[in-house]
Structure 1
Amino acid sequence: MVIVSEIDEARAALQDLIAGANRIVAFTGAGISTECGVPDFRSKNSPWQRLKPIDFDIFVADMLQREEAWRRKFALDDIYAQAQPGRGHWALANLVASAKISAIITQNIDNLHQTSGVADEKIIELHGNGTYATCLACGKRHELNLIRHEFMATGAAPICTDCGGIVKTATISFGQPLPETAMQRAHDAATNCDLFLAIGSSLIVYPAAAFPIIACQHGARLIIVNDEKTPLDDQADVVLRGDIGDIFEPLAT
């Protein structure tokens, strides 16, 4: 393992590693979005700690808890509704456009990879997407602006206009199964890359944090880009320690 913390050296090392790879997979966590104004879940004083997501089983079982979950959802949205992609997002979008990156696996729910121009088919969302909602019964997509308008008027949790089922944000809550299709796509991507870029993830949340390990087991080089230590640093070929936006900035334009 090599740790690089000087910014110019980190930028040069990243660009050399990318230039020498043919099949790159990026894996992103909350750290890539913090410069965009999206709060990190685990940071001290994070609004996520005040407005904690309600467990899936409780959400489904209790109407009052569903109403509280929607109240918290809209309160969080007000904090980062104006967030735009940061330098890391733009850099990855450029690398996808140049066919260097074949897939972006993300733990984030903020939709910023899509906003940066990356096509949906290149993005694998392990924890869902917070910019729309779905019916838990029939799968119908529901738009948040319409839900919010009704919720602010009535205070009632939304129900599906097609089947009357429970409507929930399209995110994966605690206790809710991870999406099988996304997990399989992420596994396939990890086993078929020669460079795995883990960016802004604490790498402590499983099973998502297993994908860097899977990539290593299948011969890929593992590069971790983060401003803090992670449990997988010892398994990485190179650790780039520092601000993610600063490190990726030369690739963002």
Structure 2
Amino acid sequence: MIDEAQRIVAFTGAGISAESGIPTYRGAGGMWSKYDPEKFASIDYFRKDPTYYWRFFKECRHDLIAKAEPTLSHYALAELENRGKLNTIVTQNIDGLHYLAGSERVLELHGNTNRFYCLGCSKQFNLNQAWEMVQTQMPVICDDCGGIIRADVVMFGEMLPERTITEAEQETNSCDLMIVIGSSLVVYPAASLPYQAKSAGAKLAIINLDPTPLDSLADLVIRHPAANLMAQAVWLEQE
């Protein structure tokens, strides 16, 4: 299937990063028991108490993101891009692991938790800068204008970036194969993209541990961890 395709779009969710040690909010084995996602990931709560997010960042999120490394699936997708077969990765993840694996054409629907910006003047900061500032500030304040700094991610209560969604739809409508990796396909509007790809004539492959609402439409469904499968599919097909 990969060998025959010329314009692949990969659609990735939390499952692709699970083997990197990044848990989802549910089934995380107590990782988020101290901090409520409905609070640290809510724009309304952030406006009311930004300190809550920054405590969570300092005690939990930073180390999780800083230590995470790409899986074989991330590297396999980067290799497909290098070969000119994969046009774009559309991801629901905010961990930045696709870039770390070497991919360049990545559409991050929900932003990237390695980036930060000031709500006052829009000055940008990276993960290391945010980590340094949170050691002495709570919440973190912009050194230029005194505005509150936040992560460059889409929080609960915010809309997805329109430009990113538009680009994702354009890539979806022109692909000949969409590979879904590690997404339950229940979060909309992002989950509508595989359906759009299939409707536009593309083949659809879904690799996810649990059933998804679009399994019946897919040309291939694999309920298995993706890393070794993707590595075999990419490098063995080359041979």
Number of the residue aligned with 1:4: none
Q: How does 1:1-253 map to 2 (within 5 A)?
A: 17-45=1-29, 47-48=31-32, 50-51=34-35, 52=37, 53-60=40-47, 62=48, 65-74=49-58, 75-119=60-104, 122-154=105-137, 156-250=138-232, 251=234
Matched positions, count: 231
Q: Percent identity?
A: 40
- Alpha-carbon distance between aligned partners in 2 of 1:153 and 1:161, rounded to the nearest angstrom: 13
The question of whether the paired residues in 2 share the 8 Å contact of 1:39 and 1:48 is answered with: no
The question of whether the paired residues in 1 share the 8 Å contact of 2:206 and 2:221 is answered with: yes
* Structure 2 counterpart SS, 1:43: coil
Match of 1:152, as an amino acid?
Q
The question of whether the paired residues in 1 share the 8 Å contact of 2:50 and 2:139 is answered with: yes
- Give the C-alpha shift of residue 149 in structure 1: 2.4
The question of whether the paired residues in 2 share the 8 Å contact of 1:106 and 1:126 is answered with: yes
- Give the C-alpha shift of residue 44 in structure 1: 4.8
Show structure 1 runs of 5+ residues with no match. Answer: 1-16
Superposed CA RMSD in Å reads 1.7
Alpha-carbon distance change, 58 to 202 in structure 1, aligned in 2, over 3 angstroms:
same
Higher relative contact order (CA 8 A, sep 6+): 1
- Give the C-alpha shift of residue 196 in structure 1: 0.7
Show structure 2 runs of 5+ residues with no match. Answer: none
TM-score, length basis structure 1: 0.85
Say which is worse superposed, 195-204 or 75-84, in terms of deviation. Answer: 75-84
Alpha-carbon distance change, 138 to 72 in structure 1, aligned in 2, over 3 angstroms:
same
The question of whether the paired residues in 2 share the 8 Å contact of 1:88 and 1:252 is answered with: no
The question of whether the paired residues in 2 share the 8 Å contact of 1:30 and 1:201 is answered with: yes
Deviation track 1:192-235 (CA, whole Å, cap 9, x = no partner) reads 11111111001111111011011111111111011211111111
Match of 1:171, as an amino acid?
V
- Give the C-alpha shift of residue 78 in structure 1: 1.8
